[in-house]
Structure formats: structure tokens, C-alpha cells
């Protein structure tokens, strides 16, 4: 099996002003500064990126944005480009989060364009996929996740894969406290892995697949011990340094 370094990222969503964000990242550096066997990232709001970038410089913490527009410049009020994210000190951007898909019109096609722009801009992309509760209840989980994934796979080449992470986030598990069971998550991760391998063979096997949706210190280890779960995309629990640090530590590979 391909060796994959776990990657755990805190998606801070619309939380934390500059002072709060810098305080949190400073605490994370204190608690996680020596971890080398897990990649760790934080994704603050746009307005905190610059301040947080200064704090993470030279550390083991990666900085990312929660979204990225696909055009590089022009009359696009309110948008931010990949080049600008690189300029402020980001190493990655999240694209296709279900909140953006549900509330801000990010279709599969838009997510594919954003993914391409992020990679072309020299950043890494965390691409989110996941089914709603009604899609799951209707037995359409793999169909929905498969469609979301194919739209992105179409614009990827094998050269991109090192800089791509897929995040499986079942919408019904986000912010609800209702985590997918390790077995439920593993089933979909294995499906995603199969799609990646079908398209890119062994290079596809090496792509990390994070789980997201009510990951907490007390359920992280069970999730991470599944074969195809390579880390976590954490919302609520990433806002408290101790909880996020505990999740990172629970994700460390067994030695
Ligand atoms: P919660 O961890 O709050 O469920 O959020 C998950 C998520 O949406 C991360 O992107």
C-alpha cells in the first residue's frame, strides 16, 4: 500500500478576527511545533491570512484559504485569486466546500475551474466532496460523490496529484455532531480511492483523502485507523487549540 503522510487541516470558517486568529495559531505552534509525521494546516478567513502568515512562517504549519476564485484578475467584485493567495503566504486553498456549494453557487463545474486555478497558481488544493442526507437515504452516495469527483478528475493530470488532497465531507455530518462511523467513511474513501486509481493507477493511490464532519478528539483515532482515511478536515473542533492538537496527535501514524 502506498505510504501516505496524514494531513489534518483546521477550517476555521467564518470565525476568529485577527487577534483571535493569531492567538490560536500561536497556541497551535506551541502544542504542535515538533510534529513532523503529520502535515498540519489552518484556513482562517481572508482578512486574517496576512497576520497568520507571519506567525506560521518557518514553522511546520501550512496556511490556506477557504476558497479561491478561478479568474486571475478583472472585474470580479469580492473575489480573490490564486496568485493573491500565494502572495499573502498561502500554501493551499480549500475548494468545493459543501457550504459554498449549497449557499454560494459553486457547481461541480465551478469547483473544477477553481481547482485548476489553485494548482496553476502554485498552491495545493483540498477538494471537498460529499453527499447530503437525502442523497444518502436515497442510496445515491457514491453516485453523487462520483459525479463531484469526476468533474475534478477531468481537469487533473498525474503531475498535479502530489498537490491534491480530496476531503470527503458528508453534508449530514458537518456541524451536527453526527459523525460518519469509521466504516461508513471508509466505504466512501475506498470508493474515491478506486476512482483515483482507475484514472491515475499508482499515482492515484498516493493521493491523500481526508475525512471531515464532526471530527473530535474522541472519534479521531477510530476514523484515522481506517485504511483509506489519511487525515481530517476539521471545523468546530479546530477552533480550540487543545482539541485540534489532540486530533492531530490521534492522526499520527502508528510506529
Ligand atoms: P465540523 O467539524 O464542524 O463538523 O465541520 C466540518 C467541516 O465542514 C470542515 O470543512
pLDDT tens-place string over residues 9-68: 999 999 999 999 999 999 999 999 999 999 999 999 999 999 999 999 999 999 999 999
Residue 95 is predicted with a pLDDT of 98
Asked whether the predicted pLDDT for residue 80 surpasses 90, the reply is yes
Distances (CA, A) of 25 to 66, 179, 184: 16, 26, 32
Report pTM: 0.98
Task: Evaluate: CB of 175 within 6 angstroms of ligand 1.
Answer: yes
Residues 225 and 186: beta-carbon distance below 8 Å: no
Residue 31 is predicted with a pLDDT of 98
Instruction: Tell me which of 254 and 83 has the higher pLDDT.
Output: 83
Cα 87 to averaged position of ligand 1 atoms, centre (Å): 27
Task: Evaluate: CB of 11 within 6 angstroms of ligand 1.
Answer: yes
Cα 185 to averaged position of ligand 1 atoms, centre (Å): 14
Task: Evaluate: CB of 213 within 6 angstroms of ligand 1.
Answer: yes
CA dihedral defined by 212, 217, 219, 222, rounded to 10 degrees? 100
> Which positions are annotated as active-site residues?
97, 169
> Given pLDDT bands bounded at 50, 70 and 90, which one contains residue 254?
confident
The residue ranges of DSSP E strands in the chain, in sequence order, are: 7-11, 39-43, 61-65, 92-95, 124-129, 164-168, 208-212, 231-234
Query: Region 195-205: what's the mean pLDDT?
Result: 93
Cα 174 to averaged position of ligand 1 atoms, centre (Å): 5
| CA–CA gap between residue 108 and residue 113 (Å, rounded) | 9
CA nearest ligand 1 atom 1, residue = 235
Q: What is the mean pLDDT of the chain?
A: 97
| CA–CA gap between residue 158 and residue 39 (Å, rounded) | 21
Closest ligand 1 atom to 212 CA? 6
Domain layout of the chain by residue ranges = 7-250
Q: Taking the domain 7-250, which CATH number applies?
A: 3.20.20.70
| CA–CA gap between residue 122 and residue 85 (Å, rounded) | 10
Count of Cβ atoms closer than 10 Å to residue 95 Cβ: 28
Query: Region 200-226: what's the mean pLDDT?
Result: 96
- CA nearest neighbour of 62 among 155, 163, 213: 163
**All cell numbers assigned to 24:** 490560536
Cα 45 to averaged position of ligand 1 atoms, centre (Å): 15
Asked whether the predicted pLDDT for residue 128 surpasses 90, the reply is yes
**All cell numbers assigned to 27:** 497556541
Residue 2 is predicted with a pLDDT of 55
472519534: which residue's cell? 219
Beta bridge partners of 95: 127
Closest ligand 1 atom to 97 CA? 10
481526508: which residue's cell? 210
Query: Region 181-202: what's the mean pLDDT?
Result: 96
Q: What's the chain's Rg over C-alpha atoms? A: 17
Asked whether the predicted pLDDT for residue 255 surpasses 70, the reply is no
Task: Evaluate: CB of 212 within 6 angstroms of ligand 1.
Answer: yes
Q: Which of 96, 217, 236 to mutate to test the pocket of ligand 1 (most atoms within 8 A of CB)?
A: 236
CA nearest ligand 1 atom 5, residue = 235
Mapping DSSP to helix (H, G, I), strand (E, B) and coil, where does residue 42 land?
strand
φ, ψ for residue 95 (rounded to 5)?
-130, 150
Asked whether the predicted pLDDT for residue 127 surpasses 90, the reply is yes
Closest ligand 1 atom to 98 CA? 8
Residue 79 is predicted with a pLDDT of 98
Asked whether the predicted pLDDT for residue 243 surpasses 80, the reply is yes
Cα 255 to averaged position of ligand 1 atoms, centre (Å): 28
Amino acid at each position: 500500500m502506498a505510504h501516505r503522510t496524514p494531513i489534518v487541516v483546521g477550517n476555521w470558517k467564518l470565525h476568529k478576527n485577527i487577534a483571535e486568529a493569531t492567538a490560536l495559531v500561536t497556541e497551535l505552534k506551541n502544542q504542535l511545533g515538533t510534529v513532523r509525521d503529520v502535515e498540519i494546516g489552518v484556513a482562517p478567513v481572508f482578512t486574517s491570512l496576512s497576520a497568520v502568515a507571519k506567525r506560521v512562517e518557518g514553522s511546520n504549519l501550512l496556511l490556506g484559504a477557504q476558497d479561491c476564485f478561478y479568474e486571475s484578475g478583472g472585474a470580479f467584485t469580492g473575489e480573490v485569486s490564486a496568485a493573491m493567495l500565494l502572495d499573502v503566504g498561502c500554501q493551499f486553498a480549500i475548494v468545493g466546500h459543501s457550504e459554498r456549494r449549497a449557499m454560494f453557487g459553486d457547481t461541480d463545474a465551478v469547483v473544477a475551474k477553481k481547482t485548476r486555478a489553485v494548482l496553476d497558481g502554485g498552491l495545493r488544493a483540498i477538494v471537498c466532496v460529499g453527499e447530503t442526507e437525502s442523497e444518502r437515504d436515497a442510496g445515491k452516495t457514491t453516485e453523487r460523490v462520483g459525479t463531484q469527483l469526476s468533474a475534478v478528475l477531468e481537469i487533473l493530470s498525474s503531475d498535479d496529484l502530489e498537490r491534491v488532497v480530496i476531503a470527503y465531507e458528508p453534508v449530514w455530518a458537518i456541524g451536527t455532531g453526527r459523525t460518519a462511523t469509521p466504516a461508513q467513511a471508509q466505504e466512501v474513501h475506498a470508493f474515491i480511492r478506486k476512482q483515483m486509481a482507475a484514472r491515475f493507477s499508482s499515482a492515484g493511490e498516493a493521493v491523500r483523502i481526508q475525512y471531515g464532519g464532526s471530527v473530535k478528539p474522541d472519534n479521531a483515532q477510530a476514523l484515522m485507523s481506517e485504511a483509506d482515511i489519511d487525515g481530517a478536515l476539521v471545523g468546530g473542533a479546530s477552533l480550540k487549540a487543545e482539541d485540534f492538537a489532540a486530533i492531530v496527535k490521534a492522526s499520527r501514524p502508528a510506529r
